[in-house]
C-alpha cells in the first residue's frame, strides 16, 4: 500500500486545510483503496445549489463528479505528484434534491502520465443520479500552480 502523504492526504487527514472549492461543495473523504484505484467521497448539496424548481442544478452535480474523479487519481499518486483534469463528460440521469450525495470514483486505466477515470453520484434513495468519465494528466507537484 502506498504511503498516505502528499497534498491530497494532508487535506484528507487534517494536516492541511481542505481546499476551498472542496469545502464549498461540502466535500468529505469517506474511503479509498489506492491499490484498486477506487475512492468514495461525499458532498452536501445545499439550497445554494438549486434551480428554480428546487432540484440541485446539474452545474453542481458536474462539479461534484469533477471532485470525485480528481481525488480518485490523487489518492494513488506519489507525494511529489499532482494531477490536472483535461476533460470531463457528464451524463445527467435523474434530478436530485439537496442533501448528502455520495461520489464513487475509479481509475480505469493509467498509461504513463495520462489517466482515464470514471465516477457516479448517488443519493440516499437513488443509486445513480449522474455519471462521468474524465481524462487527466499526472504532473510533478512543482507544476501544480498551472493546474486547473
Which residues lie near a copy of itself (CB under 8 A)? 7, 11, 16, 19-25, 47-64, 66-67, 70, 84-92, 94-96, 130, 144-148
Residue 32 or 61: the one with the smaller Cβ distance to a copy of itself is 61
Least Å from the CB of residue 1 to a copy of itself = 24
How far is 108 from 96, CA to CA, in rounded Å?
A: 26
In three-state secondary structure terms, 74 is helix
- Is the Cβ–Cβ distance between 89 and 38 less than 8 Å? no
Which cell is 79 given?
A: 507525494
Closest separation in Å from C-beta 126 to a copy of itself: 12
Q: Report, in Å, the least distance between residue 22 CB and a copy of itself.
A: 8
Query: CB 148 → a copy of itself: shortest distance, Å?
Result: 4
Residue with cell 506519489: 78
Cβ-based nearer residue to a copy of itself, 36 or 128: 128
Give the 3-state secondary structure of residue 58.
helix
Residue closer to a copy of itself, measured from CB, 61 or 138: 61
What is the closest distance, in whole angstroms, from the C-beta atom of residue 66 to a copy of itself in the complex? 4
Radius of gyration of the chain (CA): 15
Identity of the residue, 36 or 78, whose beta carbon is nearer to a copy of itself in the bound complex: 78
Answer for the pair 61, 121: CB distance below 8 angstroms, yes or no: yes
Which lies closer to a copy of itself via its Cβ, residue 29 or residue 60? 60
Please state the separation of Cα 97 from the chain's center in Å: 20
Amino acid at each position: 500500500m502506498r504511503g498516505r502523504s502528499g497534498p491530497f492526504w494532508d487535506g484528507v487527514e487534517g494536516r492541511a486545510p481542505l481546499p476551498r472549492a472542496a469545502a464549498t461543495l461540502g466535500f468529505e473523504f469517506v474511503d479509498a483503496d489506492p491499490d484498486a484505484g477506487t475512492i468514495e467521497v461525499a458532498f452536501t448539496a445545499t439550497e445554494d445549489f438549486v434551480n428554480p424548481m428546487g432540484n440541485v442544478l446539474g452545474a453542481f452535480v458536474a462539479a461534484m463528479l469533477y471532485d470525485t474523479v480528481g481525488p480518485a487519481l490523487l489518492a494513488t499518486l506519489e507525494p511529489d505528484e499532482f494531477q490536472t483534469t483535461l476533460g470531463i463528460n457528464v451524463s445527467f440521469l435523474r434530478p436530485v434534491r439537496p442533501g448528502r450525495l455520495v461520489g464513487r470514483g475509479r481509475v480505469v486505466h493509467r498509461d504513463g502520465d495520462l489517466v482515464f477515470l470514471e465516477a457516479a453520484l448517488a443519493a440516499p434513495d437513488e443509486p445513480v443520479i449522474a455519471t462521468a468519465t474524465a481524462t487527466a494528466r499526472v504532473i510533478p507537484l512543482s507544476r501544480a500552480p498551472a493546474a486547473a
